[in-house]
Amino acid sequence: MVTALSIVTKNYEETQKLGEELGCRLSPGSILALTGELGSGKTTLVQGIGRGLGIRSLIKSPSFVIIHEYSGSVPLYHFDLYRIAHPEEIISLGYEDYFYQKKGIVVIEWAERMEDLLPTEYLKIELKIVDLFKRRIALRAYGSFYRRVIEKMKKGGYLCCFWV
């Protein structure tokens, strides 16, 4: 059974707040796979997740580094696969060390580029541009932990945007 949730945020701040709410509900070993076109708010969402984890440093798109590591209450491993052309490049990065160590949260932008390498349990987050400011953000749980995360999001009283 797949549990899903769709949310529309009205601006940058609401997208960050959604990320923060999500970040507060994650635990070490969580893997989030983000998809969406350029400018859809993936990095903005990751910034909010970082805030939810207590990360104080500026989170930016790691497009040239591929992986940034941030320290917080739980480490955040931020992958940006925009410049990856072949799955072999991802394998050479040692992604498995991040996925299976269970010490931090892994968030992957452009996750569709490694879809076949994702574990069976993860949270898929698809971001779509509605208009200049609005974003439709769909969360889809693969695994019982992520189903519970979505259920907590539904019950959590997140008020700055509306559920679809």
For residue 74, give the CATH number of its domain.
Answer: 3.40.50.300
| Rounded mean pLDDT, 25-48 | 96
Answer whether residue 26 shows pLDDT above 90.
Answer: yes
Residue 31 belongs to what domain range? Answer: 3-163
pLDDT confidence tier of residue 2, bands split at 50, 70 and 90: low
* Tokens describing residue 160: 């700055």
| Rounded mean pLDDT, 70-95 | 89
Which amino acid is residue 21, in one-letter code? E
| Rounded mean pLDDT, 2-7 | 88
Answer whether residue 128 shows pLDDT above 70.
Answer: yes
* 14/65: higher pLDDT: 14
Which amino acid is residue 10, in one-letter code? K
* Tokens describing residue 163: 């559920």
In angstroms, rounded to a whole number, what is the distance separating the alpha carbons of residues 62 and 79?
A: 7
In angstroms, rounded to a whole number, what is the distance separating the alpha carbons of residues 34 and 45?
A: 9
Identify the pLDDT of residue 64. Answer: 72
Identify the pLDDT of residue 163. Answer: 37
Identify the pLDDT of residue 62. Answer: 62
With CA atoms as reference, report the closest residue to 23 among 78, 76, 68.
Answer: 76
| Rounded mean pLDDT, 38-62 | 91
> How many domains would you assign to the chain?
1
Mean model confidence pLDDT for the chain: 90
Identify the pLDDT of residue 54. Answer: 92
Strands (E), 12-121: 31-35, 67-70, 76-80, 105-109
Which amino acid is residue 30, in one-letter code? S
Identify the pLDDT of residue 1. Answer: 58
